[in-house]
Amino acid sequence: PFLNKLAQDNGKLWFGTAADIPGTAEQTDTQYLKILTNNKYFGEMTPANMMKFMYTEPEQNVFNFTGGDYFLDLAEKNGLRVRCHNLVWNSQLSDWVTSRNWTAPELTAVMKNHIYNLVGHFGGRCYSWDVVNEALAGDGSFSSSIWYDTIGSEYFFLAYQFAQEAVEQTGADIKLYYNDYGIESPGVKTTAAYNLVKELQSRKIKIDGVGLESHFEVGGTPSVAAQVAAKQGYIALGVDVVVTELDVRFVQAPFYTAAGEATQAQNYYDSVASCMKVGPGCIGVTVWDFVDKYSWVPSSFPGQGGATIYNDTFQRKPAFYAIGEAL
Ligand code: XIL
C-alpha cells in the first residue's frame, strides 16, 4: 500500500515522516532515501534536528541554515511539504543560551531574534512552524525551562506574537502550531493545551493548529475513542490537528515477536484511524522516522526500541500494513 496516496485519496490528509538529514548515515543511505522521497509513501517530512536552536543559532546572532536548506531542497525536489520544527523549546539549546543568567528583557530579545531570523529565512518553504514545543508539565502547569523560569508565562504568548509578526513580514501563508506529548487523549494536560489555544485566541494572536506527538508504548496507547475525543476538542476551538511524531516503542526486548508486532500494528492503526474518524480537522499523520535503525528511541530510552514501521533491514512490519488499512 502507498500510504500517502491512500491518506490523500481517502482522507484528504498527508502521511509523513521525520528524517534526520543531513549530517547522518541517512543522508547517503540509498535504500532509505528511495522510500523517503517517494511521494506515494510520504507527503510530508519533518526535520528531526536540523532546524533546532543549537544547529540554527550556534553562536549568538550567528545563524546556520545549511542543514535546514538542504532538508527543504530534498523535500521540494520530491514534492513533500515540510513542518518546520521548532522555534522555542527547552531542549537542544545552544550553550550560549543556557550558560548565562539572562534578565527577562534580554532573553525575550534573544527569543525574538531567533524567531524572526528562522521564520524570515525559511519563509513560505515551511508549511508550518512548531512555535513552542513541549511547554506543559503533566499537571497542566508550564514546565520549568530557561524561557519560563526567566520570562514567566508571558514567554509563551510572546513567542506566538513574534512568530506572527515574522510570518506577516514574509507575506507567506505559514501555519503556527503548538506541539506537545501527553495531549493525545482527554486529561489535565490536554485541557491545559486547550486553554493555551483559547488564551492565544482571546488575545487575537495567531494559532492555526496543535501537534499531538503520539510517542506511545506497545500495548499502552489511548483507545481510538479517547484519541478521537481529544482531537475533536482541539478542532472545536477552530484549529487543525496533526499527529506529529507517531511511534510505538517496545519498552523491552524482544522487539520482533509475532504477538508483539500484532499489538503494535493495532496501536498504530488506532492512532491513524482516530485521525481519519474526526474528519477534515485532522490534516496529517507523521511518524517519527520509519525504520528502526534510524529511530530516536534506542538512544533516548536505553533498552527500548522496535518503534517504527520498518525493521532494521527495511522489511515492512505489520504496523505498516495496519496503517494502510486505517487509511
Ligand atoms: C528528538 C530527535 O529525534 C533526536 O534525534 C534528538 O536527539 C532528540 O530529539 N519530541 C520532539 C522532537 O518534539 O524534537 C524530539 O526529537 C523527540 C521528542
* Residue spans per domain, the chain: 3-326
Indicate if ligand 1 lies below 6 Å from the C-beta of 48: yes
Dihedral angle over CA of 275, 311, 305, 220, nearest 10: 30
d(CA 16, CA 4): 7
Indicate if ligand 1 lies below 6 Å from the C-beta of 20: yes
* Stretch 198-220: mean pLDDT: 98
In this predicted structure, what is the pLDDT of residue 59? Answer: 98
In this predicted structure, what is the pLDDT of residue 6? Answer: 98
**Nearest to residue 16, comparing CAs of 211, 186, 216?**
211
**Nearest to residue 323, comparing CAs of 279, 280, 284, 267?**
267
Reading the block at residue 231, the C-alpha cell is: 482531537
* Stretch 285-310: mean pLDDT: 98
**Nearest to residue 245, comparing CAs of 294, 207, 284?**
284
Indicate if ligand 1 lies below 6 Å from the C-beta of 49: yes
**Model-level pTM?**
0.98
Indicate if ligand 1 lies below 6 Å from the C-beta of 90: no
Per-residue pLDDT tens for 193-205? 999 999 999 999 9
Per-residue pLDDT tens for 241-256? 999 999 999 999 999 9
d(CA 134, CA 88): 9
254 preceded by a cis bond (ω within 30 of 0) = yes
| Residue type, position 189, single letter | K
CA of 92 to the centre of ligand 1 (A): 9
What distance, in Å, lies between the first and last C-alpha atoms of the chain?
10
Indicate if ligand 1 lies below 6 Å from the C-beta of 160: no
CA 247 and chain centroid, separation:
11
d(CA 167, CA 313): 42
Whose CA is closest to atom 7 on ligand 1?
A: 296
d(CA 160, CA 86): 12
Kindly report the backbone phi and psi dihedral angles of residue 109, in degrees, each rounded to the nearest multiple of 5, phi listed first: -65, -40
Write down the catalytic residue from 134, 184, 213, 261.
134
**Nearest to residue 289, comparing CAs of 20, 14, 2?**
20
245 is catalytic: yes
Mutate to test the pocket of ligand 1, among 20, 287, 296 (most ligand atoms within 8 A of CB): 296
Write down the catalytic residue from 57, 184, 245, 261.
245
Residue 53, CB-side half-sphere exposure with 13 Å CA sphere: 23
Number of C-beta neighbours around residue 109 at 10 A? 12
Per-residue pLDDT tens for 66-117? 999 999 999 999 999 999 999 999 999 999 999 999 999 999 999 999 999 9
> Was domain 3-326 assigned CATH 3.40.50.1100?
no
**In the structure, what pLDDT confidence band is assigned to residue 157 with cuts at 50, 70 and 90?**
very high
| Residue type, position 27, single letter | Q
Whose CA is closest to atom 2 on ligand 1?
A: 48
Nearest atom (ligand 1) to Cα of 89: 13
Question: Is the CB of residue 270 less than 8 Å from the CB of residue 221?
Answer: yes
> Between helices 154-170 and 104-122, what is the axis angle to 10°?
30
134 is catalytic: yes
**Nearest to residue 248, comparing CAs of 323, 162, 189?**
323
